[in-house]
Amino acid sequence: MLNRRNFFKLSAASAAAGVAGTMTLKQAKALPAWNGGKDFSHKTGRQRKAVPSACLQCVTRCPNIAYVEDGRVVKIEGQPNSIRSEGVMCAKGQGGVNQPNDPDRVLYPLRRVGARGEGKWKRVSWDEALGEVTARLQKLRDAGTPEKFMFHYGRMKASTSKMVGEFLKTFGTGTIGNHTSICEGGKWVAQEYTWGAHYDSWDFDNTRYVLNFGSNVLEAGTNHIPTSHRLIRAITDRNVKLVTFDVRLSNTAAKSKEWVPVKPGADLAVVLAMCNVVMNEDLYKGDGEAFLQYCKATAKHDATTAEKIASLKAHFAPYTPQWAAKISAVPAETIARIAREFATTHPACVISYRGAIAHYNGHDTERAIQTLAAITGNIDNPGGRCKAVGPKWHYPKGISEKPKARKLDILDGPKGAAVSPNHHMSHNVLKMIKDGSNGRPDIYMTYMYTPVYANGEVQENIDILKDETLVPFFVSVNPFYDESAALADLILPEPTYTERWDWEDMVSPTQVAEFYIRQPAIKPLGDCRDFATVACDLAERLGTPLGFKTKEEFVRLSCEKTPEVAAVGGFEYMKAQGVYHDPKAKPRYHSYKVEVSPAAYQKDTVVYDPQSGVYWDWKKVHVVSREEALKKGYTHTKHAYKGYVGHRVGDKVYSGFKPDKVNTSGYFEIYSSIMEDKGLAPLPTWVGVPEHENMGADDMMLTTYKVATQIHSRSQNCKFLTEVNHDNPAWINPKDAQRRGIKDGDKVKITSPVGGIETEAKVTPAVNIGVVAISHHFGHWQYGRYASGHKAPEGRDDDPDLQRIWWKDDRGVHPNWMIANSPDPINGELRWMDTVVQVRKA
Amino acid sequence: MHELHWGLPVILYLFLGGLGAGAGAVSASVLLRSGGGDRPGSGFDIARWGALIAPFPVIVGTGMIVFELGSFQAGNWFRFVNLFKVINLSPMSIGTWLLSLFILVSLAYAYTFFMKDPRPGDARHSLRKMLAWAMVPLGVGVALYTGILLGALPARPFWNSPILALLFLVSALSTGVAAILLARAIFREATHHQEVARSTYLMTSSDLLLIAFEIAVVFLFIMYAHLTIGNTEAAVAVILGGRLTSLFWLGFVALGLAIPAAIELKYVIPTLLYQKQYVMPRSIEIAVCTLVLIGGFMLRYIVVVAGQITGPVGI
Amino acid sequence: ATPAKRYAMVIDTRKCVGCHACSVSCKTENDVPLGETRSWVEYIEKGDFPEVRRSFLPRLCNQCEKPQCVSVCPTGATYKRKEDGIVVIDSNVCIGCKYCVQACPYGMRFINPTTGAADKCDFCLHRVENGLVPACVNTCQGKARIFGDLNDPDSVVSKAVRANALTVLRPEMGTGPMVFYIDADHTDARDAARLGTYVRIETNRRQQERV
Ligand SMILES: Nc1nc2c(c(=O)[nH]1)N[C@H]1C(S)=C(S)[C@@H](COP(=O)(O)OP(=O)(O)OC[C@H]3O[C@@H](n4cnc5c(=O)[nH]c(N)nc54)[C@H](O)[C@@H]3O)O[C@H]1N2
Ligand SMILES: Nc1nc2c(c(=O)[nH]1)N[C@H]1C(S)=C(S)[C@@H](COP(=O)(O)OP(=O)(O)OC[C@H]3O[C@@H](n4cnc5c(=O)[nH]c(N)nc54)[C@H](O)[C@@H]3O)O[C@H]1N2
Ligand code: SF4
Ligand code: SF4
Ligand code: SF4
Ligand code: SF4
Ligand code: SF4
Ligand SMILES: [Mo]
């Protein structure tokens, strides 16, 4: 949209920019992608205001730069100084500019006036809104039942999570739910059982081979941009081989040297068979064998390496590639060949995500994958599967006097539904409320979480939330009018992430910590308030001020308290630069090999537990005496991991794999005594998905996935993203389609025991036989006009693009109407990818 | 589906522009052929009808196209004057000037007939004759140009052929003749004048000739397009076995060419071979002319649409 | 005077993951209205199960050396800049006759509904003029887009041009594209019938057929 007049202005502007302009031009010569944090208006040629901040479209939270013109966020780019993103940004991050400018945003607190869900609202003041919440909270506290305030959050991270956490603790409720079990909780638990804590970082910059089970790393992933662009670089510049096991041809599979279509839920069989090949063919020799020293592979922690090898050989012996081929529909030769390639190319990185773990057998799938990495010596090494490294922020702690939290036992699902739901069972919270036998919250407040849409069994979620006898007061903290907010009694509008403060802490794929902050590019529109600041306000209203009043203050104090950041200039430095990493820092590998100083493990309150090999501080876990500690032992003392100091390997004491959820031993636990204790197989063991084992001839397996241009349910009102992708036809293999007389584009009916949908078929060979794949982002019935065609209350009409929506008849159908909220029996993860369905022509 | 950037306004413009240009050129050449129309059987009447018709379809057509301008649609009503600020080698630029000139000249030419009792040798005779000399090349130019406008684009293989300009020219002349005959058939008194019959016969037989020529050009167009490989071959598939096939064969070839030709033949042959008195009932005359006009419109419609829904093959 | 530049882009499709960051960045950078696109990514899916491939073909204006869009423009609104070879449109002069839209063999042009003028990728002239790379290049997730001055032998783009086997789109059109591809998949939907295999081209935009 150039015109000559502007064009002259443009040239003048660049002349005025003078030296700076030339400088970047030289950089442009040297670097293909680099904007130096600058941007110019295409309309006026003027330079725009640049605000270093951080993305929050997805959980990756990349540092970014927001550009502001005439008080509007007009553009978001990558942060060139970030070691994580190296300045690149994904489509979702780019589309983030649509969030603050969303014409369907909720800008003022809204109180329901009609019946619940009827869609009638009135604008109320913050004072009125918070007055009501405070009164209700006060009543609960006065009655001694603070636990009847349930706070249920989704993507709450870093400083927000700390501040809100302080508020909840101060109030005294422990009824705090998250969304982790519908996300990747299962993977986390499996990791907590093997190497103590969760999150694996993939060192693509140094790897030579990447083996992928069910991760769509090039389109999704919780550390998406930092890992994906490195993986592309690895596979093209360094010719690293990428092999992807997926039930459909994701873009990651498409960019892989090899796509191996695997039967849903059968990855475990494949991985077990790979372990079999590695052990059977002695491919563990070398780095794998050396690493076994740090592994627990038998009941005894101090077994010799030979004993460990014998144990593993024996355990994996039945899991031959031929055996796995029958289960997974992957040829035995392929399994064996890839196992050999993986084991003999050093270093190599095995990666996994929800495709592998959101299953009945997800827990052992991830444990088996960890095992495969361990026995080939690819754990926490350059080029392997590493322990996460993130920045350690110091932050103000609020008041020290906190009541002992009380909580309703509704977070972990029905008794016995999962053995170890370390990250709860969010998808069963509403069911538990309906059931009522463990009590019901009087106030149900959600933050950045949409229980209606994000869980399975959508209809039941709606029915429960609509029922005022089950959920008497429902508050949704939300910048948008999503399907859940539509059922709320009160909507507290939060500004979008471009208008907020935060310090951020996502892990780094370079194993060097990066500190970064999010700062508002513009003042919050309307009367939106950062919920963390609102929480401070609520605390104050309740007579228990937290000691800080706003998020900005919290971030500033954190910058001053955090030594690394304070040293370079604290808050002012971070506001100006956005990111900081220590340029001299060395990447952190082999963290488990750090020796613990004798002073630390010879302390009075520390005992050695010969059974597990752990030194632990009994005082920290409130054990009464040393004797008691010695008697009870580490493994069987509740929360003993909190006192973990180190563990003995041979004659040395190492920091080991420090546990943070269960009492693991500091060893890399291929063999899990805790599992054994719970009556489960201690070594990764095959178990099939029950539904898949009893399938009728006409049944198919439903799977769901993410696309590169959308984030869950929350990006569909971003017009530029939804323009690229707005529907989610059901992928079906031509073989399956033909048998059912389905042609490309036909309407099909898909039904499960839970529900059914009618949608469009996309007949494509890019999906495994027997599988229907439906992405989960679409089929909204609220959220705004770009997403669903429905205007939010008080939606504005000032965006001319509202007249140009051309996908009105093409908005897809949400698959979660027919997915059951049923958990992985071990870790509680929702089994997203196990649903059995019938598909027929509509 | 590729997008139709040019729709009905452009189709009408090409059709009306061709028709007016054809009528003008035919009028002028009829006039000139008889040295200004002062000999008997000169078809002065024909020339007059042609002259009176010529400017208006062209003006209306040109007016239509303004509605298709993005600038006009966006509210910049008079942005189109930019067309007159430059001359360059763009077919559209050349065409713009040609059209403007044609409109001016044809208006003046029409003016020479616009008097109480226009006759050969009247007061405006010499001006009329002079303008007629300009009308022939201008009319042919405008008629040709509409084909060149489309034909100049390699990106539109269906259009990208020199034959297209020829086809448009012949069709323009044919629709021009049809328009003249139609106008005269509608407006003349019902008396069967020897003179009128003679000129009608001449006009109808030339129209027949033009249609025959048009059929030949269409044949060439299709044959060459079909015998070639790649882009053009793929593009003509749209009329040979694609979305526009039936419209092309029924709407254009049958309705617009074959049927009027057959009817004309039926009336022309007796006169031609057996020197019989030429009589064509007025109703038939009107019907034939209407069919020819429909055919002319169909041709523009099909060509404009076909060009836009086809494109280069491969990437 | 500064020596003339010849801006060009090389797209290394081996590095392209079809993420659409380029498409979206182009929209936000240039305020492109819904329904129209200056930049998009085509998905080419082909083969038979399980030997199925999907490749990605990012598309943008080729800034042709012999731009048909320029030679047909009756007002001179569209022209190729002498100083850097970028083909631009002066939206104050353009009358929106759509002739250039018809003339571009790559379907790159559209009428911008807000200005009524023809519009298309201009290599982000306002950025390039100020020494920045185009928005799509800056964001490109795979760093698949390489931009620079072909007249400068040391530029990244000159190096990429020298070091790789390159193709351009529809070379037979004689337009002389300045956007070059490494390892592009030139498969067309029409090839499917000929080869007897499955080929699906998705343009990911309103105009669902490839132009
Ligand atoms: N673009 C985008 N990126 C995102 C998100 C987003 O919504 N959009 N969300 C973020 C979040 S919160 C998360 S948790 C991550 C998730 O990141 P991923 O887990 O990588 O993404 P998913 O699409 O959930 O699942 C990955 C793949 O698993 C495949 N799959 C399904 N069943 C099976 C199976 O049985 N075996 C195998 N081997 N594969 C299978 C699917 O086809 C899919 O390609 O992404 C994060 N990044
Ligand atoms: N079928 C199927 N279902 C899935 C998945 C799948 O792959 N397939 N993926 C699952 C995964 S991995 C996850 S993590 C979950 C995600 O599920 P959720 O955590 O519920 O995440 P979203 O759906 O992205 O967003 C929740 C709500 O947050 C609100 N929101 C957006 N921005 C803000 C903000 O800045 N502040 C506040 N306060 N609120 C905001 C929006 O209104 C949105 O409705 O979904 C799961 N559901
Ligand atoms: S990966 Fe993309 S959406 Fe996620 S934080 Fe980074 S830029 Fe934003
Ligand atoms: S941004 Fe780069 S990697 Fe992504 S689709 Fe565009 S060209 Fe391909
Ligand atoms: S690609 Fe099309 S619009 Fe761009 S310069 Fe070439 S002909 Fe013109
Ligand atoms: S639309 Fe504008 S730029 Fe294109 S040819 Fe017409 S006047 Fe020229
Ligand atoms: S160079 Fe600029 S205008 Fe062209 S495609 Fe890239 S972002 Fe769009
Ligand atoms: Mo997630």
- Is the C-alpha dihedral spanning C85, C89, C92, C94 positive or negative? positive
Nearest-by-CA chain C residue for A41: C126
Q: Assess C54–B contact: CB distance below 8 Å, yes or no.
A: no
C12-68 residue pLDDT tens: 999 999 999 999 999 999 999 999 999 999 999 999 999 999 999 999 999 999 999
Distance (Å) from the alpha carbon of B73 to chain C's nearest alpha carbon = 7
The two most distant CA atoms of chain A are separated, in Å, by 86
CA distance A205 to A127: 52
Residue A159 contacts residue A502 (beta carbons within 8 Å): yes
3-state secondary structure of A307: helix
Residues of B in contact with C115 (CB under 8 A): 70, 74
The whole domain housing A604 covers: 598-668
Q: Are A709 and A662 contained in the same domain? A: no
Q: Are A518 and A443 contained in the same domain? A: yes
Q: Which two tokens stand for residue A382?
A: 């350059």
Q: Which residues 6+ apart lie within 8 Å of A188 measured at CB?
A: A180, A198, A199, A422, A423, A827
Distance from the alpha carbon of residue A818 to the mean position of ligand 6, in angstroms: 52
Q: Are A370 and A245 contained in the same domain? A: yes
What are the φ/ψ torsions at residue C17 (nearest 5 degrees)? -110, 10
What single-letter amino acid sits at C75? T
Q: Are A382 and A412 contained in the same domain? A: no
Q: How many domains does chain A have?
A: 4
Q: Are A712 and A655 contained in the same domain? A: no
- Residue ranges around ligand 3 (CB below 6 Å): A 55, 57-58, 60-62, 89-90, 92-93, 224-225
Q: Which two tokens stand for residue C87?
A: 């083909």
For residue A77, CA distances in Å to A34, A413, B264, B265 come to: 10, 42, 71, 73
Distance from the alpha carbon of residue A449 to the mean position of ligand 8, in angstroms: 11
Look at residue A622 in the predicted model and tell me its pLDDT. 92
Q: Which two tokens stand for residue A797?
A: 């009409």
CB C21 to CB A806 under 8 A?
A: no
Q: Assess A88–C contact: CB distance below 8 Å, yes or no.
A: yes
- The CATH superfamily of B8-309 is Formate dehydrogenase/DMSO reductase domain (1.20.1630.10)
State which residues of chain A have pLDDT below 50.
1-33
How many C-beta neighbours within 10 Å does residue A658 have?
Answer: 18
Q: Which two tokens stand for residue A261?
A: 């279509």
Q: Assess C28–B contact: CB distance below 8 Å, yes or no.
A: no
Q: Which two tokens stand for residue C103?
A: 């003339």
Best probe residue, ligand 5, of C106, C119, C173 (max atoms within 8 Å of C-beta): C106
Distance from the alpha carbon of residue C123 to the mean position of ligand 5, in angstroms: 12
Q: Are A366 and A459 contained in the same domain? A: no
Please provide the distance, in angstroms rounded to a whole number, between the alpha carbons at the two ends of chain C: 39
Look at residue A400 in the predicted model and tell me its pLDDT. 84
The two most distant CA atoms of chain B are separated, in Å, by 64
Burial of A325-359, coded b for 16+ CB within 10 Å and e otherwise, reads: bebbbbebebbbebbeebbebbbbbbbbbbbbbbb
Q: Are A740 and A807 contained in the same domain? A: yes
Strands A668-669 and A699-705: unpaired
3-state secondary structure of C47: strand
Sorted by where each begins, the domain ranges of chain B are 8-309
3-state secondary structure of A273: helix
Q: Are A709 and A822 contained in the same domain? A: yes
For range B95-123, the mean pLDDT:
91
- Beta partners for A152? A177, A446
Mean pLDDT of chain B: 90
Q: Are A284 and A412 contained in the same domain? A: no
Residue A351 contacts residue A174 (beta carbons within 8 Å): no
Q: Which two tokens stand for residue B87?
A: 């001359």
B220-250 residue pLDDT tens: 999 998 898 889 999 999 999 999 999 999 9
- The complex scores an ipTM of 0.94
Query: Scanning the structure block, which residue is given the tokens 């499917």?
Result: C192
Model pTM above 0.90:
yes
Q: Which two tokens stand for residue A578?
A: 């956005």
Burial of A756 (0-12, 13-18, 19+ CB in 10 A): middle
CA distance A136 to A130: 10
Beta strands in C1-123 (DSSP E): 7-12, 40-48, 51-59, 78-80, 87-89, 110-111, 118-119
Look at residue A9 in the predicted model and tell me its pLDDT. 42
Residue C200 contacts residue C16 (beta carbons within 8 Å): no
CB B313 to CB C190 under 8 A?
A: yes
Residues of C in contact with B312 (CB under 8 A): 105, 170, 172-173
Nearest-by-CA chain A residue for C49: A765
Q: Which of A504, A528, A545 is the last residue of a domain?
A: A545
Closest by Cβ to B83, choosing from C68, C95, C111: C95
Residue A221 lies in a domain: yes
Q: Are A243 and A382 contained in the same domain? A: yes
Q: Are A308 and A371 contained in the same domain? A: yes
Q: Does residue C144 have a pLDDT over 90? A: yes
**Phi-psi domain of C8 (left: phi exceeds 0; alpha: psi -120 through 50; beta: other):** beta
Query: Atom 3 in ligand 7: which residue has the minimum CA distance?
Result: C121
Q: Are A166 and A116 contained in the same domain? A: yes
Q: Which of A387, A416, A450 is the last residue of a domain?
A: A387
Q: Assess C99–B contact: CB distance below 8 Å, yes or no.
A: yes
User: Which ligand lies nearest the alpha carbon of C42?
Assistant: 4
3-state secondary structure of A753: coil
User: Which ligand lies nearest the alpha carbon of C63?
Assistant: 5
Distance (Å) from the alpha carbon of A696 to chain C's nearest alpha carbon = 23
Residue A642 lies in a domain: yes
Burial of A776-791, coded b for 16+ CB within 10 Å and e otherwise, reads: bbbbbebbbbbbbebb
What single-letter amino acid sits at C145? R
| CATH for A239 | 3.40.228.10
For range B51-58, the mean pLDDT:
95
For chain B, list the contacting chains (3+ Cβ pairs, <8 Å): C
CA distance A319 to A336: 12
| CA-closest candidate to residue A55, choices A46, A44, A66, A67 | A66
Query: Atom 4 in ligand 4: which residue has the minimum CA distance?
Result: C19
CA distance C201 to C56: 10
Look at residue B39 in the predicted model and tell me its pLDDT. 57
Query: Count of H helices and E strands in chain C?
Result: 7, 11
B206-220 residue pLDDT tens: 889 999 999 999 999
Q: Does residue C73 have a pLDDT over 90? A: yes
CA distance A791 to B279: 70
Distance (Å) from the alpha carbon of C154 to chain B's nearest alpha carbon = 30
Closest by Cβ to C20, choosing from A225, A708, A806: A708
Q: Is C93 in the pocket of ligand 6 (CB under 6 A)?
A: no
| CA-closest candidate to residue B146, choices B314, B12, B17, B307 | B17
Residue A752 contacts residue A459 (beta carbons within 8 Å): no
Distance from the alpha carbon of residue A96 to the mean position of ligand 8, in angstroms: 18
Residue A791 contacts residue A784 (beta carbons within 8 Å): yes
